[in-house]
């Protein structure tokens, strides 16, 4: 079920299946109160004093939250199992077992000091879809799978394993949340069998509902974002080398201050990324001066440069412009500037047919929408290289995420679940011509 099989084919074949009543204008809609109550219920696991949540992957809070979700999924009639990567998978049989599986879901792990909506909204939206199907007594043609991916906020370990893209390097990272192999085993996975995680049965598509984590939908007063793709993220370590010296005995002229040089480059990065046409962003988020004492002129400064865009060529072009700026700073300030190797989550485009289904679903429901890129990473970016993938955004208040102040209204969540359900039902009516 490699992506290439699908991407060249844009024609759809419409099947005649059940579930049509939920596509009717007067069909039952997602229950906003139920979704809100479930969000609050899940928020108890890892709840912190700031009103947010600390539910980092593999933590006790994560494990408790996972067990809570497994219970809810079983109550909804799903046949639940945990794969070797700890992904929680709830199966709902289809009428035609020969058809490929329609998958949908998100994650419930959080960043440290995170909020209650990032990931959780997509999971509760998926569960709402199952409940709505149950309540309407509908069996789809295709088998369905609701998936809660493991450790999205910690290198997306679950979706990487699911799509066969989990490297030893990712597993070796101890940055967060400690020993990842041990963590996988603790949540019911088996780190020695990760190569067996990738499904061997065919997958029809994947759809993820998620909060926008940006402020565009709110600012434009729109209900739904149709995600064109997840931006590529290139992050370079940058090193500026001047000459460390005594801050008292070294006159101002002739100093080779690495921090003054770094400051010039940081401003240039910001200006170039801002002035260039397009949606690219460039950020310096981390900086350290060495030796780092108030009475020593910094001899070395290290900082991170991160560029994101949906177009890999655009990332490269902006990087080259920044390298030119660095050369000018080198000459002006008598320093040496070097760029390390960038990490490369490449841009991941969603499937154009899925975008169309999502757009049509939103319009059917009378919801306003626009196409947009996702500046944040998501499990969907790995799924997009594995199966036709679509992604639905709902508004984030103030564009805030990864914070206790993260918030999406119950109605926005319900809108998202409605679009997710409709998209799945339309997918169920559809067979991509190779199948």
Return residues touching a second copy (CB under 8 A).
212-216, 231, 233, 235, 245-253, 257, 259-260, 262-264, 266-267, 270, 273-274, 279-289, 291-298, 304, 306, 308, 374-377, 399-402
Least CB distance to a second copy at residue 325 (A)? 13
- State which residue, 133 or 335, has the beta carbon closest to a second copy: 335
- State which residue, 103 or 159, has the beta carbon closest to a second copy: 159
Least CB distance to a second copy at residue 183 (A)? 20
Locate tokens 């319900």: which residue?
A: 414
Least CB distance to a second copy at residue 224 (A)? 16
Judge whether 239 and 302 are in contact, CB under 8 Å.
yes
Least CB distance to a second copy at residue 413 (A)? 18
Residues in the chain: 435
- State which residue, 105 or 115, has the beta carbon closest to a second copy: 115
- State which residue, 168 or 246, has the beta carbon closest to a second copy: 246
- State which residue, 136 or 281, has the beta carbon closest to a second copy: 281
Least CB distance to a second copy at residue 246 (A)? 6
What is the C-alpha to C-alpha distance for residues 162 and 150, in angstroms, rounded to an integer? 10
CB count within 10 Å of CB 52 equals 22
Least CB distance to a second copy at residue 428 (A)? 31
What is the C-alpha to C-alpha distance for residues 27 and 53, in angstroms, rounded to an integer? 35
What is the C-alpha to C-alpha distance for residues 47 and 374, in angstroms, rounded to an integer? 27
What is the C-alpha to C-alpha distance for residues 208 and 119, in angstroms, rounded to an integer? 9
CB count within 10 Å of CB 29 equals 15
- State which residue, 24 or 252, has the beta carbon closest to a second copy: 252
Helix ranges (H only) for 341-409 are: 352-364, 379-383
Least CB distance to a second copy at residue 205 (A)? 24
- State which residue, 203 or 329, has the beta carbon closest to a second copy: 329
Judge whether 19 and 140 are in contact, CB under 8 Å.
yes
Residue 68 CA, chain-centre distance (Å), reads: 22
What is the C-alpha to C-alpha distance for residues 306 and 146, in angstroms, rounded to an integer? 33
Least CB distance to a second copy at residue 258 (A)? 10
- State which residue, 27 or 284, has the beta carbon closest to a second copy: 284
Residue 333 CA, chain-centre distance (Å), reads: 40
Closest CA to 210 of 147, 126, 146, 118: 118
Kindly report the backbone phi and psi dihedral angles of residue 164, in degrees, each rounded to the nearest multiple of 5, phi listed first: 75, 30
Residue 285 CA, chain-centre distance (Å), reads: 19
């Amino acid at each position: 079920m490699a992506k290439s099989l699908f991407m060249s084919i844009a024609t759809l074949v419409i099947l005649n299946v059940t579930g049509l009543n939920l596509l009717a204008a007067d069909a039952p809609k997602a229950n906003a109160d139920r979704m809100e109550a479930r969000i609050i219920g899940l928020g108890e696991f890892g709840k912190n004093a700031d009103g947010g949540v600390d539910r980092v992957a593999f933590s006790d809070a994560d494990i408790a939250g996972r067990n809570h979700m497994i219970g809810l999924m079983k109550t909804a009639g799903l046949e639940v199992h945990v794969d070797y990567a700890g992904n929680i998978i709830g199966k709902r049989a289809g009428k035609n077992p020969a058809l490929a599986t329609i998958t949908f879901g998100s994650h419930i792990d959080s960043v440290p000091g995170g909020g209650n909506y990032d990931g959780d909204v997509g999971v509760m939206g998926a569960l709402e879809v199952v409940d709505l199907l149950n309540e309407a007594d509908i069996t789809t043609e295709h088998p369905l799978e609701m998936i809660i991916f493991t450790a999205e906020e910690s290198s997306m370990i679950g979706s990487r394993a699911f799509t066969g893209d989990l490297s030893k390097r990712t597993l070796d990272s101890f940055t967060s949340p400690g020993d990842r192999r041990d963590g996988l085993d603790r949540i019911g996975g088996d780190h020695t069998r990760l190569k067996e995680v990738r499904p061997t049965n065919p997958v029809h598509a994947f759809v993820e509902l998620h909060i926008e984590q940006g402020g565009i939908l709110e600012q434009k007063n729109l209900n739904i974002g149709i995600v064109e793709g997840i931006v590529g993220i290139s992050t370079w370590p940058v090193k500026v080398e001047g000459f460390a010296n005594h801050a008292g005995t070294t006159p101002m002229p002739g100093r080779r201050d690495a921090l003054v040089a770094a400051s010039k480059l940081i401003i240039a990065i910001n200006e170039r990324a801002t002035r260039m046409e397009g949606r690219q962003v460039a950020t310096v988020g981390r900086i350290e001066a060495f030796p780092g004492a108030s009475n020593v002129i910094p001899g070395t400064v290290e900082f991170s440069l991160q560029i994101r865009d949906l177009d890999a060529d655009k990332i490269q072009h902006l990087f080259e412009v920044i390298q030119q700026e660095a050369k000018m700073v080198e000459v002006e300030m008598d320093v040496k500037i070097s760029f390390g190797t960038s990490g490369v989550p490449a841009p991941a485009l969603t499937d154009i047919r899925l975008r169309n289904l999502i757009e049509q679903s939103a319009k059917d429901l009378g919801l306003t929408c626009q196409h947009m890129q996702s500046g944040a990473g998501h499990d969907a970016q790995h799924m997009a290289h594995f199966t036709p993938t679509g992604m639905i955004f709902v508004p984030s208040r103030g564009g805030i995420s990864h914070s206790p102040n993260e918030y999406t209204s119950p109605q926005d969540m319900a809108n998202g679940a409605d679009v997710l359900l409709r998209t799945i039902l339309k997918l169920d009516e559809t067979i991509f011509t190779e199948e």
